Structures are given as C-alpha cells and as structure tokens.
Amino acid sequence: MTMDADLQDSPEEIHPMITTLKEKNLDILSGWKKKRYDSIFFKNIPSKLFNWAARRVSGIKLHDFNCGIKAYKKEVIKTIEVYGEMHRYIPVIAAHQGFDKIEEQIVQHQARQHGKTKFGADRFVKGFLDLITLWFLNGFGKRPMHFFGFWGTLMLFTGFCFTIYLGIDKLYLHTQARLITQRPEFYIALTTMILGTQLFIAGFLGEILVRYKKDIKRYIISKSIKSKA
C-alpha cells in the first residue's frame, strides 16, 4: 500500500482496498478521490485536465492517476522502476510491464488540516513533460530506430530533393545568376541532410543501448539460475 502523509487520505481505506485487490485478482487498485476538498481553480481543474491527458495517452481508464493511496501486488513493486517524479504514472509504467489488471475504487478525501500543498504550476508542467516522456518510451523505447529513422529519412529525402533541384537549376535551367551558396535552398538542403544523419546516428545508438540492456538482463538471469542450481 502507498498513501500520502498529509492525512488527506484516510487509513481506513487500506483494508477495503486490499480486500478488493485480492477478490478481483488485480495488479493495481488505485484510489479515486471523487469528491475533493481542494481549491477548484488551482487544484481540481488542473487535476482533471492532467488526468484527461493521461487517459488519452496511456489508454488506462483511471479518473485519478495521482491519487496517493493505491494497493499493489508484490510482483508489480518488485518489477517496475520508478525515478524522478514518475510516481504519479505508476499505473502506466506497470501496464507497460504487462501488469494491466488495473481498476479504481472511490476513496474518501479529507480537507487539509496541516501544512500546505506542494502542487503548483511547475509540477503541472513537469507532469505533462513526464507524460510525454512515458509516451515516447512506451511507443519507441524498445525500437528507437522506428522513431529516429522515420524522421531521419524524411530529413534526408528533403535535403536530397533540394540538392537535385539546385543541381538541375544550375546546370540546365540557369534561372538564378547567384552562386549556389548564396541561395536559401542550399542551406535548407545542408541543414536537413545534417539533421537526418544525426537522427540516424541517434537511432543506431538507441538500438545498441537497447540490445546491450537486454544482453545484460539475460546474463543476470542466467547467472542467477546457475547459482540456484
């Protein structure tokens, strides 16, 4: 179980949530603060917008991703890796690891009696940036060349088209008396071809890192099996 330390979550919710988790054989049971006692404009509306975006990107139908009180299977906690401020996206990270039995349960939310909220504009922006990061990693983390290769191909194709146009125009059409290096098309071609090459290199490096990580994981598993044998 996890829950916030500011006492806005009720500890009495722990037992019913664990019971539901076991009865339905879920991987994660997330709390849903359906009735909130926070500021409407500074907390509720941004929270609704944030949760809507998270549902659209992840496909997980939760109303309150950032609810602190959640129940998990032990295997989920031992498998997922959470860093930075990614705790708000634990259901998304878990689903990406194959733990997709995720539901929510309405929990009580109590008005804050002590301290002050840490939610602000900076955390709102960071939350959306983390969401974009997860979208990219979930979509292309295991095949980075699909992303970088696509944009690299597009850039290189654009650069080659401008290069061919400049060559034909210079050799046969003679519509411009200026030097090629004085024309904006030359710099567009140069820039797009450099960017395309860099994107391809980034894709190759990404593929190497992914394969290296898989090799390390296989080595650790095989070493663990041998030590047990």
Over the chain (229 residues), the average pLDDT of each successive run of 10 is: 81 90 92 74 73 82 86 89 79 85 86 65 71 75 83 93 88 72 88 93 86 69 66
Read off the DSSP letter of residue 9: B
Examine residue 1 and state whether it is found in any structural domain, yes or no.
no
Do 131 and 163 lie in a common domain?
no
Do 67 and 175 lie in a common domain?
no
Provide the 3-class DSSP secondary structure of residue 86. helix
Please report the pLDDT score of residue 159 as a whole number: 93
Please report the pLDDT score of residue 132 as a whole number: 80
Please report the pLDDT score of residue 176 as a whole number: 62
- HSE-CB for 178 with a 13 A CA cutoff: 8
Do 17 and 111 lie in a common domain?
yes
Please report the pLDDT score of residue 15 as a whole number: 92
pTM, whole model, 2 decimals? 0.62
Do 65 and 98 lie in a common domain?
yes
Please report the pLDDT score of residue 79 as a whole number: 85
Range of the domain at 165: 144-228
Examine residue 3 and state whether it is found in any structural domain, yes or no.
no
Number of domains the chain is built from: 2
Final residue of a domain: which of 140, 165, 186?
140
Do 116 and 206 lie in a common domain?
no
Examine residue 199 and state whether it is found in any structural domain, yes or no.
yes
Please report the pLDDT score of residue 192 as a whole number: 94
Do 131 and 155 lie in a common domain?
no
Do 127 and 22 lie in a common domain?
yes
Do 111 and 41 lie in a common domain?
yes
Q: Are strands 28-32 and 102-106 parallel, antiparallel or unpaired?
A: parallel
Q: Cβ(151)–Cβ(192) under 8 Å? A: no
Q: Cβ(106)–Cβ(34) under 8 Å? A: yes
Final residue of a domain: which of 85, 115, 140?
140
Do 106 and 213 lie in a common domain?
no
Please report the pLDDT score of residue 195 as a whole number: 94
Final residue of a domain: which of 85, 106, 140?
140
Please report the pLDDT score of residue 124 as a whole number: 65
Neighbours of 118 (CB within 10 A): 8
Q: Cβ(44)–Cβ(52) under 8 Å? A: no
Please, which residues have CB within 8 angstroms of residue 30's CB and are 6 or more apart in sequence?
62, 64, 65, 67, 70, 91, 102, 103, 104, 105
Read off the DSSP letter of residue 160: H
Q: CA-CA distance, 186 to 166, in Å (whole number)?
A: 7
Q: CA-CA distance, 189 to 191, in Å (whole number)?
A: 6
Q: Of 30, 43, 131, which Cα lies nearest the Cα of 84? A: 131
Please report the pLDDT score of residue 23 as a whole number: 92
Do 121 and 175 lie in a common domain?
no
Examine residue 6 and state whether it is found in any structural domain, yes or no.
no
